[in-house]
Structure 1
């Protein structure tokens, strides 16, 4: 990766878009007719005594129709809750969880793999890795999303070209940052998000509120960039809440939504003329966007007695009579393209599994090393290790109960720490996974394996350091094989506990709920682990057979004591294997093998559960 970053600093060309990217680009005409979207909602009964939940159907979009051609910018206007984002998501092929009706075509065809790869989608929230620089963010995206018809150098040059095109050169070596980490500005972060989609030179670009949270100057720059893209033959569709008049007149077409229905579709410059023709003219000169939003809310005059519902009804009626018939006549004109040829050209994935794995591995390590080796986490581990070493300082076999207590403490500590750390993994990355999987960037399996492999060195270094400190300070067996056996057992349980955390986080996708459930499970495992309670009632004894703590404790005991080891007792010297806390665990080889096999099954099983749970998210709409 460092070499890739160095290559960017010394490009071998002038940074123009590679010719191959221009050749594969196709213009797209987007048509949508009578688009209806319904969702089912649950509502509690009105009676306090009734617990019956009623299921209702809510209509979000009510027969929206329109068309956008190459070289045009379509702006979707409307008040909050009017259905702008829902319509944009439906047109972008990413809408799921409800019933979508109507016809949406791209050059006369339905959404396909080729169209998915030829489409860019910029969400309202900038989903970016905070510790990566602008250059690293775009280079990694280029390596993943650009096909193998590009060389690695071509992909890097394309990232450099986008950086120059979006005016990000001055901040290309700055980290992205987030609310807790100072990085680039909001406008620069938004341009990075747009740049990620521009890397593939999409023919069709969707943007959800691209100017949200930006001042007028930064918003002007964003929209100007999008206007220039459209001027090069792209098709640009965006939602925007309250644009300034300068921005409004840059839109070629405007669709105005009110409560899920269209009340205007046409050229932005002709909207005021149309509304004047049906009896709605502003009393004073004002921003057309503000006037349109007032109308969509049913507000026409400043009179408090105005019937807002009547205004909306008249607007919808006039649209149905004056605009919709002509619009549908235009939609039914011919136009299409050879979809099968495009599908063969694009294929299912832009890069191979191995390429995806390697790029995701490098990106993941670069991003997560700051979190895994944070000063706070390192200090926590070192402090606990030193305190443990001091409390059990030189506690030899004559203090057998103390030694066994140390072993079980290590089991408990390294059951909780990796589990809690892993629980946050997938909930924190859910938005990123949805964004990149919806764009067809990589396979879920390559992402999952890169996470598992990338976490290995980062998750195993700290427990190794912990054990070295504690083992040397405490009076544990001073034999190399015993130490190595204990270390391997510890690393084994760390991976198993991490797998449990990954599974909980992936299934629940809620950090608070997953943490609570994980705490209950791990405490149950510890209580049944064989140290606190040695005579567990039969009706609940089954817990120990699924307990990570039980099997790890068994391995730890086997690493320190053998069948012939003794300890000082009232009778002189007694066998360690007869000690109450150890007798039920056993120190024989057979018990050790069973414990290792059980943990091995858990190691694989928990990760498989996490993988299958992740399959529920990512791609929100299956391709036809």
Structure 2
């Protein structure tokens, strides 16, 4: 975890002071619902200056995270009020000055701590910085956050162990600190951590604020040690503010309006009781279940009205005075020395880094032993079943070709379905931070997967093709392999589209199962006389086109086979071949190419609506 003393006394990025930001929000209201609206935030007002640490307290559902999301420019919908940064509204240049750390650490499990921070630096720091400079920046973050011991350890996930929860939180914080943010927003940074680790995290945040940053954090139930580290406290109750001001003055304020206690308590405990509508003198009754909802409502109403009388008027006066604190010439949040354009890096740079990161992340997943065993064992078993099938056994040969089209039409689809639903949280997080364009991410995902996705079907084809006794000519084999790999890409494209549209693994796999079953039946092998009113289904099946192309590679219109002893028949007249035909080779290629492009375009458009 690192030495807490060295962490507390270190001077993170102090030589590089961030541009100061005064954050103000006035009468912020947020409602959800169309028919019956529910107010989540109700006229919230406040101001945080550089060097201050504001903690937003309140019970679950009080609106803390919603307000934090709004302050970070990430809340969309029925939001009213005014949120300004040095008097300016939210913009792309402001976005690059904001660091946002979510409650749950969204990180790639198979990347190490160093790789995670390095790829973030390569994407978020401007191209004017060289790679060695960015690497040095990463090393500084690792040293300052006490992550040296685990720098080469994988982050870890549900299926394998990696770094601890506190270390993950510091990695998430490190990702934001790489851009030297002027405004740092954190959602429950101590959630799920032990008291010592929580203390270290808050000590780091306090130090970052003292370096000239504006720091805002939500926190559920801080210990008394943590509470006394807050410069300002905002207390919310069901979306309404009931206190805003110095943390050290909170108990005196509530005593002045009739909510005092003779007991020595953690200030945050008393504040949360009040936010829940429980006065200090009624706590015993609450423990016995005697507090009615009406009593709680009366307490909340009294606290809200007291806030409006005693705090809100003074607070709004402070907001108007603060407009003159920063020199008007410096008021605009410029990107001087940082990013000149909307993006810190070019499209090509983003594409290269994302391809590299994707390969690093999937290096264990794509070639894991179980997956290799699964594919190779099926190929060997199929090769034994179709061992050197004679050319006269046309039924078995066509069955083998259809098996190629079916297996490599369904297997990639089910793997691809998981891609975007599993990465949704990371995509939302990184896109919200302005790390890269969606097009660079999507193409990097498509290109980066090619070597991994095409290696196994190539090995599969090498084994089954020659064990099954298909046409041994190099041209026939190469064309068959190309058709199968083409089929893999089309199948993968459909899986990506299903995953991107539904963003739910269970729903996407269910839809994939139904679709592949239809494609299987209408693929031209099992049902050769499809009724005219439903015959159009086969033209939607990429398995149908793959099967037809494989037949076209193996046989010509004038090829013959021994249909009975001493009797030869045309291959084109065999029922399983006649049902699909041997003509229209290039038409089938064009149709599959259109499917490949169309499915991927659908997936890309579906990703654009993900927020």
Deviates more, 1:211-220 or 1:294-303: 294-303
Aligned to 2:26: 33
SS of the residue corresponding to residue 75 of structure 1 reads: strand
Measured against aligned partners, the alpha-carbon deviations of 1:413-435 in whole angstroms (never above 9, x if no partner) come to 11110000001100011110100
Change (3 A) 1:288 1:562: same
Of 237, 241, 256 in structure 2, the residue corresponding to residue 262 of structure 1 is 241
User: 2:588 aligned with 1:608, yes or no?
Assistant: no
Change (3 A) 1:340 1:181: closer
Deviates more, 1:191-200 or 1:468-477: 468-477
Aligned to 1:486: 480
Change (3 A) 1:584 1:305: closer
Give 1:285 deviation, angstroms. Answer: 0.5
CA contact (8 A) 1:117 1:346 kept: no
Give 1:308 deviation, angstroms. Answer: 1.2
Change (3 A) 1:424 1:332: same
CA contact (8 A) 1:15 1:160 kept: no
CA contact (8 A) 1:36 1:64 kept: yes
| d(CA) in 1 for partners of 2:11, 2:445 | 33
Deviates more, 1:253-262 or 1:105-114: 105-114
CA contact (8 A) 1:18 1:154 kept: no
Aligned to 1:184: 163
Measured against aligned partners, the alpha-carbon deviations of 1:106-149 in whole angstroms (never above 9, x if no partner) come to 01110111110000000001000011110110011001001123
Aligned to 1:318: 306
Q: Aligned runs of 1:369-384 on 2, under 5 Å?
A: 369-384=363-378
| d(CA) in 2 for partners of 1:118, 1:558 | 59
Aligned to 1:61: 41
SS of the residue corresponding to residue 128 of structure 2 reads: coil
Give 1:338 deviation, angstroms. Answer: 4.3
Measured against aligned partners, the alpha-carbon deviations of 1:160-219 in whole angstroms (never above 9, x if no partner) come to 111111111111111100121111000000000000000000010000000000000000
CA contact (8 A) 2:187 2:218 kept: yes
CA contact (8 A) 1:357 1:449 kept: yes
Give 1:346 deviation, angstroms. Answer: 3.9
Measured against aligned partners, the alpha-carbon deviations of 1:391-424 in whole angstroms (never above 9, x if no partner) come to 1111121111011111111111111100000011
Measured against aligned partners, the alpha-carbon deviations of 1:479-521 in whole angstroms (never above 9, x if no partner) come to 1111111100000000000000001100110111111111111
| d(CA) in 1 for partners of 2:424, 2:78 | 24
Give 1:18 deviation, angstroms. Answer: 10
Q: Aligned runs of 1:49-448 on 2, under 5 Å?
A: 55-96=35-76, 98-300=77-279, 301=282, 302-303=284-285, 304-305=290-291, 307-333=295-321, 334-335=323-324, 337-339=330-332, 341-342=334-335, 346-448=340-442
Of 501, 506, 521 in structure 2, the residue corresponding to residue 507 of structure 1 is 501
Give 1:586 deviation, angstroms. Answer: 2.1
Q: Aligned runs of 1:583-602 on 2, under 5 Å?
A: 583-588=578-583, 591-602=584-595
Q: Which runs of 5+ in 2 are unaligned?
A: 1-9
| d(CA) in 1 for partners of 2:107, 2:365 | 16
What's the TM-score, normalizing by structure 2? 0.94
Aligned to 1:537: 531
CA contact (8 A) 1:15 1:158 kept: no
Task: Output the aligned Cα RMSD.
Answer: 1.6
What's the TM-score, normalizing by structure 1? 0.92
CA contact (8 A) 1:113 1:346 kept: no
Give 1:222 deviation, angstroms. Answer: 0.2
| d(CA) in 2 for partners of 1:288, 1:346 | 46
CA contact (8 A) 1:76 1:256 kept: yes
Of 541, 548, 568 in structure 2, the residue corresponding to residue 573 of structure 1 is 568
Change (3 A) 1:18 1:608: farther
SS of the residue corresponding to residue 540 of structure 1 reads: helix
CA contact (8 A) 2:14 2:211 kept: no
SS of the residue corresponding to residue 573 of structure 1 reads: strand
Give 1:587 deviation, angstroms. Answer: 2.1
| d(CA) in 2 for partners of 1:396, 1:479 | 16
| d(CA) in 2 for partners of 1:495, 1:256 | 54
Change (3 A) 1:466 1:305: closer
Give 1:613 deviation, angstroms. Answer: 0.7
| d(CA) in 1 for partners of 2:298, 2:183 | 37
| d(CA) in 1 for partners of 2:366, 2:247 | 51
Measured against aligned partners, the alpha-carbon deviations of 1:63-115 in whole angstroms (never above 9, x if no partner) come to 0111100000000000000000000000010002x200111110111011111
CA contact (8 A) 1:117 1:439 kept: yes
